[in-house]
Amino acid sequence: MIFFDAQENTFYLDNGRITYCFGLAKEGYLECRYFGRHIRRCNGSARPWYFDRGFCSNPDPQDKRFSLDTLPQEYPDMNQGDFRSPAYVMQTPDGRRVTRFLFQGYEILQGKPSLPGLPATYVEHLQEAQTLVVRLADAHTGAQIWLYYTIFREYDAICRHVEVVNGSTDALWLERLMAMSMDFPGGDYDLLTLSGSHLMEKVVHRRPVTADAVVLDSCRGASSPQQTPCVVLTEPQTDESRGQAWGFNFVYSGDFQAVVQAGQYGSVRVQMGLNPLTFGWNLEPGQRFVSPECVLVYSHTGLNGMSHTFHRLYAQRLFRGPWRDRVRPILLNSWEAFTFSIDEEKCLSLAKQASELGIELFVLDDGWFKNRVDDRRALGDWVTDRTKFPHGLGRLAQAVRDAGVDFGIWFEPEMVSYDSDLYRSHPDWIIRSPDYAPILSRSQLVLDLSNPAVQDYLVEAVSAVLEETKASYVKWDMNRHITDLGSSWLPARQQRELSHRYMLGLYQVLERLNQCFPQVLFEGCSSGGGRFDAGMLYYMPQTWASDNTDAVCRLQIQSGTSLLFPPVTMGSHVSAVPNHQTGRITPLETRFAVALGGNLGYEMDIRTLTPEEREEVRRQIRTYKALRETVQHGTFYRLLDPQQHNDAAWNFVSQDGNTVVCCQYRVLADPLRRTTVVRLQGLDPEATYRRQEDGVCFGGDELMYAGLGDRPVRQDFVSVISVFEKVEP
Ligand code: DGJ
């Protein structure tokens, strides 16, 4: 899949469906050539014309046509005549930031090496992928930058990351480090991003790429609800099922920066890496620094095609452990019903009723530990509140299991309250500057996870509860962002490393817990989908998609999230109405139809349901169980975009192609009662499908080309779930 054409000085990564190609230009600079649909050879038909342009500096004084300012580059330096965004910035011991990294050599490896201490896609067999390592060297410092490129046989994705190796005798200071950089040729592109906020995460924003640069970043200590480390470039006409799309997603959960920069001569530079605002790294002689990886996906079948590659790659080669391939349990979470006023009696009565309804897991959310009566105290003290749980959590968990459902529990391990025993005994364990009172958010402080003692404490504290309760599920929350970046653990010269070291520390804690408790299903959360990223999914294969459980808002949130992540990752719960975030009253049927778009749960006091509602919930759970394999492990197609229409629709196709689930939603009633037709995707046009509801049969061609209409109802917030089974010919 990877070869070097020595005559043309060109590297090819090619799996028969996609080709990624770059070459050696003059002087040892690397020139980007092509990333797209498979081509047999890249001889330069689309290459830009090089000529002597004004203000362009020339590394070869004899050749005024050759300038880094116009060269499409693979990993551009700063300060060398390419005045666009540099891929890295390195300060040398003389205080300068002048380096020149040129091609030195390469090797091709079978498989894909892991990234020490970092989440990353992986292979199970060496034949699944090949990796190209290109070494760039700086003659003055002796430092090297190694560029890693992996191509998979089965997925139309390239993974890139870099390693900086300090081969000099002095320390180097890394100020900026992108995992990847590439230059697209001139043309019209649209840029899609997933920006948002708490309660409205991952909203798709689309606009043309024009002059100048768009910089997306997070300096919040988390990938954040405000941004997602993802950019997608498309042709202007690309839609869900047609046209080219190039997706870039950083496998990282902390501060990042993504740059999309239009060059003066039409090219477009895309970069993704660590956020230089909060990143700095002191690299001692002989040390290496490994960046997180960026996944690059190409599709010529529109955005759905791009999403399918992300979904398959992540579901099969990013998630790990036994839960990767299992269907996920239907859960009942205590939070929206009881917040902090939860106790043993409530838990047990909920668990019993949950079991009667067919729910499989009871999750005890916030409020279970000593003194946790509100959000102003007790974080860090992971010991049971005996006033609420007089018999202890071990007994409770067993009683919950005896009632017929598994037991899961909530933690927010990265945090500490002032009013906690942990803070009183370790005031030096928090992130802060000694010169200022630390800024609070949700009345809490952030633990300094760069400190190994803090990491050990968290592993021990969480492990003790998991051992006592034998919990099968953990909800791992994180409800504030990081301010006052300062560590009493790190020496002065390493303070700038704190933001990245925090992430490395967190990953370390999660890895240890994954190893100790392989059977536990971890669900990430950060006030909802505030850290819904590929990095977290490596340790926790599902995330609470949003604190906003309003069915209408969820259409947008889940649809946007699905650009990158498959439905099996999205915690989506049916909650009470009026909705606690929007006040909106939507029918139970529609709340379920939206929650079915992910990992189903309920988050309400089910004891207050009317007998009719109980029956409906029981039916919903039976339906979900019957469809769960298709929803969680099938292929997901976005059909109608809720941001553009009053309607939304998506369909799932099971892995064996025999079951199709189509969900249609209409937000507001249409006085004209017009029919909205959606054209299903992913069916076999030659096959016949029987609709479960009424037994009527349709051809796959009819459902895909003529489509499926909705029903003329006079009501807001309506939904229809149609299930089709393929009929044997
Ligand atoms: C924020 C989460 O998103 C909620 O679901 C809940 O777990 C609260 N934290 C608990 O404090």
The pLDDT of 376-393, averaged and rounded, is 97
Pocket lining: 410 vs ligand 1, CB cutoff 6 Å: yes
Does the residue 669 lie in any domain?
yes
Note down the domain range covering 418: 322-629
Contacts of 541 (CB under 8 A, 6+ apart): 319, 320, 321, 323, 324, 521, 522, 568, 569
Does the residue 641 lie in any domain?
no
What is the best residue among 372, 417, 477 to mutate for testing ligand 1's pocket, by most ligand atoms within 8 Å of CB?
477
pLDDT at 712 over 90: no
Catalytic residue among 156, 547, 641, 647: 547
Nearest CA to ligand 1 atom 2: 527
Q: How far apart are CA 9 and CA 464, in angstroms?
A: 57
Gap from CA of 477 to ligand 1 centroid (Å): 7
Q: How far apart are CA 74 and CA 87, in angstroms?
A: 9
Does the residue 103 lie in any domain?
yes
Query: Residues of the chain with pLDDT > 90: what percent?
Result: 96
Q: How far apart are CA 616 and CA 492, in angstroms?
A: 61
Asked if 385 is an active-site residue, the reply is: no
Q: Which of 629, 662, 683 is the C-terminal boundary of a domain?
A: 629
Domain co-membership, 214 together with 94: yes
Domain co-membership, 71 together with 95: yes
Work out the pLDDT band at 729, boundaries 50, 70, 90.
low
Q: What is the pLDDT of residues 296-325, one digit of tens each?
A: 999 999 999 999 999 999 999 999 999 999
> SS3 of 312, please?
helix
Does the residue 149 lie in any domain?
yes
The pLDDT of 571-581, averaged and rounded, is 97
Residue whose entry in the numeric block shows the structure tokens 């968990």: 397
Q: Give me the torsion for CA of 581, 410, 315, 224, rounded to 10°.
A: 50
- Structure token digits, residue 461: 């504290």
Nearest-atom number in ligand 1 for the CA of 528 is: 3
Domain co-membership, 287 together with 359: no
Domain co-membership, 313 together with 174: yes
Pairing of strands 659-666, 697-699: unpaired
Domain co-membership, 66 together with 21: yes
Query: Residues of the chain with pLDDT > 70: what percent?
Result: 100
Nearest-atom number in ligand 1 for the CA of 525 is: 3
Nearest to 382 by CA among 411, 344, 347, 408: 411
Nearest-atom number in ligand 1 for the CA of 375 is: 11
Domain co-membership, 211 together with 312: yes
Residue whose entry in the numeric block shows the structure tokens 């139809």: 593
What is the best residue among 527, 557, 575 to mutate for testing ligand 1's pocket, by most ligand atoms within 8 Å of CB?
527
Residue 226 near residue 218 (C-beta atoms within 8 A): yes
The pLDDT of 478-505, averaged and rounded, is 97
> SS3 of 382, please?
coil
Residue type, 610: T
Contacts of 149 (CB under 8 A, 6+ apart): 2, 11, 13, 20, 131, 132, 133, 134, 158, 159, 160
Does the residue 634 lie in any domain?
no
Cross-strand partners of 632: none
Gap from CA of 558 to ligand 1 centroid (Å): 18
> SS3 of 538, please?
helix
Q: What is the pLDDT of residues 53-107, one digit of tens each?
A: 999 999 999 999 999 999 999 999 998 999 999 999 999 999 999 999 999 999 9
Domain co-membership, 300 together with 333: no
Pocket lining: 547 vs ligand 1, CB cutoff 6 Å: yes
Gap from CA of 409 to ligand 1 centroid (Å): 12
Pocket lining: 366 vs ligand 1, CB cutoff 6 Å: yes
Domain co-membership, 678 together with 691: yes
Domain co-membership, 301 together with 434: no
The pLDDT of 432-458, averaged and rounded, is 97
Does the residue 602 lie in any domain?
yes
Which domain CATH number covers 682? 2.60.40.1180
Domain co-membership, 306 together with 382: no
Our count of domains for the chain comes to 3
Residue 711, pLDDT score? 85
Pocket lining: 365 vs ligand 1, CB cutoff 6 Å: yes
Asked if 448 is an active-site residue, the reply is: no
Supply the DSSP string of 650-714, one letter for each residue. Answer: EEEE-TTS-EEEEEEEESS--TT-PPPEE---S--TTSEEEETTT--EEEHHIIIII-EE----S
Nearest CA to ligand 1 atom 11: 366
Q: How is residue 606 annotated by DSSP?
A: G
Pocket lining: 279 vs ligand 1, CB cutoff 6 Å: no
- Structure token digits, residue 403: 């009632």
Pocket lining: 550 vs ligand 1, CB cutoff 6 Å: no
Domain co-membership, 308 together with 336: no
What is the best residue among 201, 334, 341, 366 to mutate for testing ligand 1's pocket, by most ligand atoms within 8 Å of CB?
366
Question: Which sign does the torsion angle of CA 413, 416, 420, 425 carry?
Answer: positive
Pairing of strands 294-299, 245-250: antiparallel
Nearest CA to ligand 1 atom 9: 527
Does the residue 718 lie in any domain?
yes
Q: How is residue 385 annotated by DSSP?
A: -
Residue type, 100: R
Pocket lining: 636 vs ligand 1, CB cutoff 6 Å: no
Contacts of 700 (CB under 8 A, 6+ apart): 683, 684, 685, 686, 687, 688, 689
Residue 403 near residue 372 (C-beta atoms within 8 A): no
The pLDDT of 382-402, averaged and rounded, is 98
Which domain CATH number covers 183? 2.70.98.60
Catalytic residue among 156, 477, 641, 710: 477
Does the residue 311 lie in any domain?
yes
Q: How high does pLDDT run on average in the chain? A: 97
Count of Cβ atoms closer than 10 Å to residue 629 Cβ: 15
